[in-house]
Structure 1
């Protein structure tokens, strides 16, 4: 399966993943970037074969609060470098989180976004996302059967600074989205009276809401709008699965707007310590060489089927359909394109093949 990325002028651009690889290389050189001790162990030789990368987004409220992985995306680059495949894991996916001796966390069944929190305590009521990423990567690996060559964690502040450095981000809003959190002017919605004193309210807000109308052409979102847009699930037909699709859509849109080295440097400098990287035990040159031949005409995002889990009418989280294990096997065996040709409904509609 091939997807063609065409610029507004109809000409092909530099491969977005190559630009992202350069960004990773630059960030590894910035003192502000925090490097995760490689999940894979000691430094290794050059990268070859298929590459699988784990990306996570967190909503930190300071180092004194446990981070949760609100966004979990896996990027897979086949060995022939013919494209890039993105798929998400729901943050409420109920999984087995293995023991983590570093923090003394026992193995337990919980929502997958808790893995970051369980792996992050460093003592003294302080939490480190770099350490939490290690347990998240191990947990996602157990769910998918995949080993990761590297990864990254970006917090919401870093995300907004990245979008601000781009002057906003353009994307087509594929369905109306109404904000649960913000008013039309971007300020926080008012709390319900019963939720103002710290009550445990699932949906504590009231009053006017920011709305993102469905569009047929790209619209430019400001930094706070971009972040708010990809956080929404309430009121969407497929709830978190629609939100996951919007997150992948926005990741693609951001990457497409990074078009020259000067802009790239501006973006990565703006992100600063909002980004945590796992280089997988490889140096910058390894990554740049490994990704330089990625085909710029192929970019596919995938929605994996699943649904809610209930017990006595109480929502427990999400589960994947059993057939998803066959998709994970296709990723592991580097035959994703063939698998998606046989299962085209998994491909997000706005990323299906467009040819010049």
Structure 2
């Protein structure tokens, strides 16, 4: 039976049928650490095989960065912007389904990760490439406002550029040292190459989208136009509290759920970060980094999932630079937020951050997050 506890691992693997990407872009951090975790990373074979397998684009609008510097020039502190999207064609404006910042302190031996709510209302800067005049909107729309390239076509890399400017304006991070876009289709292959993931489930979660057997729940006929908040009917896959080994389809389904949870998207963000940490720890286990066949499967799958901008360095360079970061060195951070409504009504506008988030962003700029978290333990994400 799928979803049983670790001692009774299921053997079936239902097909993943959800059309939505599971908001898991930060897995690229896991990929970078896998690249730095085994003896294979020192060989020219790895560089030749994987550096070219990952698609690279200019995500920050800086043009060609010139000749590539040495790997040793990747020095902390570093900030990496990771964005997950639904795979869409070029005729559809992209929306950032997940926005995560990974901060690497000066010593390059830790990673501190925080998520930005996709419904956070922010000031999106003007963007001359699309004629966008700037304004207040949910942050996940920034990519859409920045993606148009004319003739009804859209470019996710150009959209990422405006999103990066928006996140910079919000956080005060002047510029990002690397960035990546991940899509669901390739990401699913990464999880399957890992043979699923063992992780702790911290609350009962019912799937809005899938039945217990992994098949899609039927949609209400009157909800064909996506106008319903809860368009599905029938039995629901339920994830109970405890530590379980999840198949790829289960893990991706679990971390995308927010309906029915006490803190909605904030609970979902916590589950995503817990999943990231579990995947990183599993990726760095001996049965992965010392298994050439499995390592090859994971890294090849990562190549199909990523668009990467390493500021002149390829993804293998970054893996080598971050080889000192292990799964246990990852700190998960939660930002305090609240729902916003039109004054005097129940009309939902989006999410807003508490004033204390500004103090946290200042610690990111100053590379003093560890000290900040000692004084503000309420920012530590639950494991």
| Interval containing the TM-score (normalised by the shorter chain) | 0.7 to 0.9
CA deviations 1:73-127 (Å, max 9, x no partner) are: 1111100234110110000000111122222222121111111222222334332
2:270/2:382 contact within 8 Å kept: no
1:153 aligns with 2:184: no
Question: Which of 347, 351, 358 is matched with 1:314 structurally?
Answer: 347
Task: Give TM-score, length-normalised by structure 2.
Answer: 0.80
Q: 1:275 to 1:170 in 2, by over 3 A?
A: same
CA separation of 1:303/1:25 partners in 2, compared to 1, >3 Å: closer, same or farther?
farther
| Aligned: 1:348 with 2:348 | no
Matches within 5 A, 1:124-273: 124-146=151-173, 147-196=175-224, 198=225, 200-215=227-242, 217=243, 219-258=244-283, 259-260=288-289, 262=292, 263-273=294-304
CA RMSD of aligned residues (A): 2.5
* Pairing 1:338–2:371 present: yes
Say which of 327, 330, 355 aligns to 1:299: 330
Q: Which moved more, 1:24-33 or 1:51-60?
A: 24-33
**Equivalent-residue separation in structure 2 for 1:156 and 1:295 (angstroms):** 25
5+ long unaligned stretches in structure 1: 1-14, 351-356
Structure 2 CA distance for aligned equivalents of residues 84 and 199 of structure 1: 39
Equivalent residue for 2:362, pick from 329, 343, 346: 329
Match of 2:311 among 265, 280, 284: 280
Give per-residue Cα distances to partners, 1:123-166, cap 9 Å, x unaligned: 34332222221111111111001121001111111221110111
Q: Does the 8 Å contact 1:25/1:288 carry over to 2?
A: no
Moved over 4 A (4+): 20-28, 37-41, 283-286
Match of 2:7 in 1: none
- SS of 1:140's equivalent in the other structure is helix
Which of 77, 85, 88 pairs up with 2:104? 77
Q: Give the Cα–Cα distance (whole angstroms) in 2 for the partners of residues 126 and 189 of structure 1.
A: 33
Q: Could you tell me whether the CA contact under 8 Å between 1:27 and 1:268 is conserved in 2?
A: no
3-state DSSP class of the match of 2:132? coil
TM norm structure 1? 0.85
> Which residue of structure 2 aligns with residue 9 of structure 1?
none
Q: C-alpha distance in 2, partners of 1:277/1:28?
A: 12
In the alignment, is the contact (CA less than 8 A) between 1:305 and 1:324 conserved in 2? yes
Q: 1:31 to 1:212 in 2, by over 3 A?
A: same
Is the 8 Å Cα contact of residues 338 and 354 (structure 2) preserved in structure 1? Answer: yes
Q: Label 1:21 to 1:124 Cα distance change in 2 as closer, same or farther (>3 A).
A: farther
The answer as to whether partners of 1:304 and 1:320 remain within 8 angstroms in 2 is yes
Alignment of 1:54-73 (within 5 A): 54-73=81-100
What is the aligned partner in structure 1 of residue 34 from structure 2? Answer: 19
Moved more, 152-161 or 324-333: 152-161
Cα deviation code 1:172-215 (max 9, x no counterpart):
1111111112222222222223213x252222222211111111
Q: Secondary structure at 1:153's aligned position in 2?
A: strand
Aligned 1:23-34 pairs, distance under 5 A: 29-31=51-53, 33-34=55-56
